[in-house]
Every structure is written in C-alpha cells, then in structure tokens.
Structure 1
Amino acid sequence: MARWKVNLAVLCIGQFLVMSGMTMITPFLPLYIQEMGVTDPHHIALWSGFIFAGNFVTSFFFQPLWGRLSDRYGRKVMLLRSSFGMAVVMTLMGFAHDPTQLLLLRILNGVISGFMPAAVALISTNTPREKSGFAMGMLQSGGVAGSILGPFIGGLMAEWLGFRSIFYVTGALLFGASMVALFLVKEKFDLAEAKKKTNITIVEGFRVLMKVKQLPALYGVTFVIQFSMLAAMPLIPLFVQDLHGKGELLAFYAGLVGSVTGFSNMIASPLLGRWSDRIGSVKILAVCLIGAGLCYIPQALVTNIWQLFAARFMLGVFMGGMLPSVQTLIRSYTPNGMESRSYGFNSSALSLGNMMGPIIGGALSGWVSIRGIFIMSCIMLLGNALWVRRTLSDPQLPKQTIQKAGSASHSGDDT
C-alpha cells in the first residue's frame, strides 16, 4: 500500500477515536455530575454547560500555538503529543470526584488538543496533490463518524460499564491509536529547513496569512459552517416535538433528525472529495455553500417530521463537500512552511463556530423561533458563497515566502 494511503487509514481511525472520545460524554454528563453529589437541577445544568464548553474554549486559543510548533518541529510530533496527552487526560476524568475537577480536566483537554489540524496538515503535505480532495474527504468522514457515534457509544457503555469505566476505555483506545500512529505514520519533513523558515511569532504568522486574501474567506466558511449547523441544534428536539406531538417514539425521532445530517455528511465527504480532485475545489465549495443554504428554506417550511428528515439529510450531503474543500484550498493558498499554523487558525474558527452557534441560536430563538434560525443560517451560507466566489476567483495561487515574514518579525519567541 502506498505510504500516503497508510497515513490516511491510520489518521482516519485516529480522527474517529478522538472525536468520539470528545463527544461520548454528552449523553451521560448530567448524570455523571449528579453522581458526584450535585442535586439541584439548575446547578447540574450550569455545570454541564461549563464542562462541555470548556474543551472548545481553550481549544480556540491554543490551536494556533500548536500549529506554529507543528510547522517548526513536524506534524507527527504534534499529532503524537496531542493523542498521548488526551489519552492521559481522558483516563484521569474517570478519577474526578467533583465537577470542578472534571471541568479543569476538560479545559486541559482543550489545551493539549490539536490532533485534527496536525492530521490535516500531515495528510495535505504528504499526499499527492491530485488525491488531496479524496484524502480530506476521508479524514472528514472519520471525524464526523466519531461525532455521530460518540454519544451513541457513550450511552451504551454507560449502561453496561458505568460512567467512570467509559473514560478508562476511551483513554486506552486513544493510547492504542497513538501507538499505531507512532509506528505506522511516516512524514516527509526537513527539520533544519523548517526551523529556518518559521522563526516568527504567532501574531506575525497571523498577519502573513491574512495578507493572502483567500484565507480569511476560507476561515469564514469554516466558522459559518459550524455556526449554521449548531445554531439550531439545541432546539431540534423541541421542534420535533412540535411537529410530532408528545406521542410515542419522540426521543427516537429527535435523535434520528439530529444524526441524519451527520450520516449523509459522512457518506458524501469522500465522494465530493473525489469530484473536487477532478473539477476543482472552488466549484465544489461554491455549489455546496449554495445547496446547503437553500436546504435551510424547506426546514423553515416543513409541516411534518418526514419533511424535516429529508431536508436535514440533503443538508448533510452539501455539508459533506464544504470542509474537505476548504482544507484542500487552504493548502493551496498557504505559503510553504506555514501549513500547520494555517490549519490551526482554521481549527480556531471551527471552535468559535461551535461555541457561538448554540449560544446565539438559543438567545435569538425567543424572538424569531427555530424557523427564523433556519432562515438566518440560509442567509449566512448564501452570503458566504458570494464572498468566496469573489475572493477565490483569482486563478493565481499566491505563494509568499516565509523568509520575508521572518525578516519582518523582531522576535522568534511565541506570543
């Protein structure tokens, strides 16, 4: 098997385990907090929100740092740092005795995270350019599969093994995946050359990347994707209840509507990735942004559960082509030697969308209802499609040199 295929297979499994490990806590988190001695429902809800969000808050701030170090010392090193670190932290969560300890561990997990941008950068720089769209689609599928199946696996394990055992099992799986990556993943990386090129601060690196007009547009796409997907997500169960009523199978239908987008996303990502290799990532991205935006209109007009199910399924199909296309284009527009930090900033945009989507969507729902949230998401995606069309219309890919950026910087230390 070609080396790039081995790397892709191992990192797809790693993506699945990392994302499932980060999300499998979702179904039983309030119950785990209750088991720790918190009995007031309001306090349980507050702790659940803080603990779940803690991971994304610190991840938003630390991703650019890990991206910078990846460009300087190698993507595989940062990938192993993240995976082994998360294996330890995940195991320690099983020993937490109060919500404060669990919150601190979730915050620490966000600090050491960075598997996804390191994996994306490694795949993008060690895969034949004509196969990069397919590779990004497969990597996306692994992460989405973990996000979908993580809560399901966590719920099953909670019933069979108890809450604390889930963290031990997850930690062991992450450690195993890290060992496989240690021995099987190979990277072409010139350490001496990288140290010469990337001796600039995070802030200076950000300024260099922002001068490439295409990159802010791509970061904006990532933010809008996550924001629009998650803005309505907390309200979906109540919307399903309005459509279906408080009859039997309500929980089943709510879960089905919530997960169908992820399933169609997982199926479509590799297929659309292959098409992007043939016809170009810009075209796939533009079509998917417009298609996803239009899919929100029927969601705002549905009158029964099956119409909502069909609209959410089609939304997932178009969503499946966006992030892989964004990641492929980021590699094309990023100056050589800055790939990891560029993906790090993109991961920060993704984390920001994960944080802001549910917060703003929940705040606005009292005024515009979930149907209004759908229309808002439609407008955001269509507007983003116009922005992308204008900024990515220049056929020339600027490849600035890191040496110029380095000479403009007065310090090589981290900011």
Structure 2
Amino acid sequence: MSSWKRNVWILFVCQFLVLGAMTMIMPFLPLYLQELGVAGKEVSIWAGFIFGANFFTAFLFSPFWGRMADRHGRKLMILRSGFGMAVVIILTGFATGPVSLLLLRLLNGVISGFIPASIALVATNTPKKHVGYALGTLNSGAVAGAICGPLFGGIMAESFGFRMIFNITGVCILIAAIVVLMFVKEESIPTSQKEKTNAVQDFKRVTGNSPILSLFVVGFLIQFALLGMNPLIPLFVQKLTDGQNVALFAGIAPSVMGFANMIVSPKLGKLGDQKGSQNVLYYTLIGAAAFSIPQAFVVDLWQLIALRFMLGLCIGGLLPSVNSLIKKLAPEGMESRTYGFSNSAVYLGNMLGPVIGGWLASMAGTRALFLFGGAILLINVVFVKWKVLPELGRQNKPYYQAKEAFH
C-alpha cells in the first residue's frame, strides 16, 4: 500500500477513536454538572457555557496551530493535540465544580486540533487526483466515531459512572496519538521558515486568492445551518412520539444521518476528484436544503428519520468538498494556516448555530428551526452559484499547473 493510502486508513481509525471518545462525554455534560452539585435552571446555563467553551478557544487558537504546522509539520500538531487532550480530558474526570469544568473545557479547546491537523496532513501528503477521495474517507471515520460514541458512552455511564467516562475517553485519545506516532509517515514535511508573520499578515496572504475567503464563508454557513437544527432534535422527537421511548428515537434520528454521511463521503470525494469538488459542493448543498425544509412539516417519526437519512447523504459532500478545494487553492507552504482559518470559520458556525437556533425555537417553535436551517442552506447555494463558482473559474491556470508540477 502506498504511503498516502496507509496514512489515510490509519488516520481513519484514529479519527474514529477520537470522535467516538469525544462524543461519549458530550451528551452527558448536563448530567455530570448535576453530579457536581449544580441544580435547577443553573444546569442549563452552565451546560451552555461549558458546551460552547471548547469551540470558543478552538476558534481563537486554530490559526496559531495552523502556522505552527506549516513551520514544524502536521504530524507534530496531531501529536501535540492528541497527547494534550488525553491529559486534559482525564483531568476533567476529577473536576470539583462547574468552574473547574469550564476552565478545563476552555483549555481543551486551546490544545484541540487532532481532526484539523489530520485533514491538513492527508491533504498535503496525498496526490492531487486523490485528495477528494482521501478527505471523504477521513470524514467517514470521524462520522462513524460520532455515531458510535454516544451509544458506548451511555452503556459505560450506566456501568461505571460519569467520571470514569472521562478517563476512558482520555485513554482512547492517548491510544490514537500513540498510533499516529508509530505508524503515520509525513512525506511532505515543511521546511523551517525564517520569515516571521502574524495572524493578520497570514490572513491577508491566504485570502489573496479570492475563492478561499468565499469558501470560509461557505464552511461557516454549513455549520451554522446544521448545528442550529441538531441540538433540539430530541425535543422535536418528543413531540412526534408523545413522550414514548424518547431517548431511543432521539438517538436514532441523528444516527441515521451520520450513517448515511459515513457511507457516501468516500464516494462523493471520488466523484469530486473526477468531476470537480465545486460541483459536488453545489449539488449536495441543493440537496441538503431540499431535505431540510420538509422536516418542518412532518407528522410522523418515520418521515423525520427518512428525511434525516437523505440529509445525511448530502452532508457527506459538503465540508469534504470545501476542504478539497482549499487544498487546491492554498498558497504554497501555507496549507495548514489556510486550514486553520477555515477551521476557525467552522468553529464560529458551531458556536453561533445552537445559540441562534435555541433563541429561534423559543420564539417560534422547534419546527421553525428546519425552515431557518433550510433557508441558510439555500442562501449558501446562491452564494456558491454566483460567487464561489465564478471566482474558481477565474483562477489562473498556469498557477495550478506550476503547483502540480512542484508536487
């Protein structure tokens, strides 16, 4: 097996471990807060802050770690994040109250970046004609972990308690970091750069290729729309089932979407390599909008589950296509910094989506979320059609030929 394929499949397994471990603990943070002595309405307030804390610091520090990756290597950043998160999450199991839990979540966001660094390593160490397939496969591993994590977490919470879940999570991430250390080989290692730049200068250089800034906007809108809908799905399921077996069906609804995403991501990535990632992005965005809006009008649970499955098939072509295009457009030697800024845009969507979605649901009801999310995705379709695609069409072809020859 060639080196790039071996890296893809090893990181596929590692991303499964990391996302599976992280999602083992996320659903139980409110319950863990109750165990720490928080009660009443304060649980919801603290849970909101603690959930968003990780994304907030990750949003701030992602460009910095991208710069470090361009200077010292992407594998080093994976190891830095893996070993660092393992320690912090194990310590989270020893939190003494909501303040210490919040501080540890903030610290976890500072040192996080296992998934973005893995994407950057695969993107920069894979031949151009296979980048879409490689990133789609990597996305499948992450999604598979996100599907299995809550299930395993629920089983272990019943058997061992919440604190033990954090220890198990930390150990899983530690194992993933050790596997990367031993088996992942970075072929394209950045040369040490003497030039010292700051984040503002880096951003100006990265966005000098105009489609890149537009792709940051696309990534933000994707996460803003999807994360605005997802957190309140259990409440909607509760209404559709009259309160019967809510936990079971609330788990099925996101799981079918993730399962569809996992199946289709590599196939859409390969299609992007053949027909253009921008085309896959455009048509899957249309599909995502088309399957989001009808969810506001479902009257039976099976209708919601069917539409969530179809939405998952479309989601598999969104962020992997954005990442594939960013790889092709990033300035030479600044690939990781470009991904750093892109990840900041995604983290911003992760933060703002649930906040705006929760506010909207309180004002207009849960069904309005699907209309809102679908409208944002439609705006994204128009933005890609009239902004991103023309900008990509105007790119300088000799630049791409020279870049391909360099690789």
Tell whether the structures are fold-level matches, with TM greater than 0.5: yes
User: Partner of 2:26 in structure 1?
Assistant: 26
Aligned-residue offset at 1:191: 4.3
In the aligned structure 2, how far is the partner of 1:68 from the partner of 1:80?
A: 16
Deviation at 1:396, TM superposition (A): 5.1
Partners of 1:273 and 1:163 in 2: how far apart?
A: 38
Q: How does 1:382-393 map to 2 (within 5 A)?
A: 382-390=378-386, 391-393=388-390
Q: Structure 2: how far apart are the matches of 1:187 and 1:341?
A: 17
Match of 1:103 in 2: 102
In structure 2, the partner of 1:170 is: 169
Separation in 2, partners of 1:165, 1:374: 36
The aligned residue for residue 92 of structure 2 is 93
The structural deviation recorded for 1:190 is 4.7
State the partner residue of 1:361.
Answer: 357
- The answer to whether 1:279 aligns with 2:278 is no
The Cα offsets for residues 257-291 of structure 1, whole Å up to 9 and x where unpaired, read as 13221111111111111111111111111100111
Q: How does 1:126-145 map to 2 (within 5 A)?
A: 126-145=125-144
TM-score, normalization by structure 2: 0.93
In the TM superposition, 1:14-163 aligns within 5 A as: 14-38=14-38, 40-163=39-162
TM-score for both structures, normalised by structure 1: 0.91
Residues 1:46 and 1:208: Cα distance change in structure 2 (over 3 Å)? same
Given the superposition, is the C-alpha separation of residues 22 and 399 from structure 1 closer, same or farther in structure 2, using an over 3 Å criterion?
Answer: farther
Any stretches of 5+ residues in structure 2 without a counterpart? 400-407
Q: What is the one-letter code of the residue matched to 2:383?
A: W
Q: What CA distance in whole angstroms lies between the structure 1 residues aligned with 2:189 and 2:252?
A: 47
Rounded Cα–Cα distance in structure 1 between residues aligned with 2:263 and 2:314: 11
8 A contact 2:21–2:172 mirrored in 1:
no
Displacement of 1:149 after TM fit? 1.9
Residue 235 of structure 1 deviates from its aligned partner by 2.5
Structure 1 partner of 2:336: 340
1:407 maps to what in 2?
none
Q: 1:398/1:168 Cα in 2 relative to 1: closer, same or farther (>3 Å)?
A: farther
Deviations 1:170-203 (A, max 9, x none): 22221121111112111124543x414x632111
Confirm or deny that 1:195 pairs with 2:190: no
**Deviations for 1:388-409, whole angstroms, at most 9, x for unmatched residues?**
22322343545999xxxxxxxx
Shift of the 342–326 alpha-carbon distance from structure 1 to 2, 3 Å rule, reads same
- 1:27–1:151: 8 Å Cα contact kept in structure 2? yes
Match of 2:233 in 1: 236
Q: CA deviation at 1:96?
A: 1.7
Distance in 1 (CA, whole Å) between partners of 2:260 and 2:23 is 19
Report the Cα offset of residue 129 of structure 1: 1.3
Are the aligned partners of 2:70 and 2:190 in contact in 1 as well (CA < 8 Å)? no
Task: Return the offset for 1:88.
Answer: 0.9
User: Which residue type is aligned with residue 235 of structure 1?
Assistant: L
Find the counterpart in structure 2 of residue 316 from structure 1: 312
Aligned twin of 2:302: 306
Does structure 1 retain, via aligned residues, the 8 Å contact 2:293–2:373? no
TM-aligned CA distance change 1:35 to 1:250, over 3 Å: closer
Secondary structure at the counterpart of residue 96 of structure 1: coil
What do you get for the CA RMSD once the two structures are aligned?
A: 1.9
- In 2: Cα distance, 1:26 partner to 1:179 partner: 23
Task: Tell me how far apart the structure 2 counterparts of residues 13 and 324 of structure 1 sit (CA, whole Å).
Answer: 17
Indicate if the aligned counterparts of 1:212 and 1:398 stay in contact, CA closer than 8 A: no
Partner-residue secondary structure (3-state), 1:41: coil
Once residues 333 and 222 of structure 1 are traced to their aligned partners in structure 2, the CA distance between those partners, rounded to angstroms, is: 15
Residue in 2 that maps onto 1:223? 220
The total of aligned residue pairs comes to 397
The question of whether the paired residues in 2 share the 8 Å contact of 1:334 and 1:399 is answered with no
Name the CA distance, whole Å, in 1 between partners of 2:308 and 2:281. 19
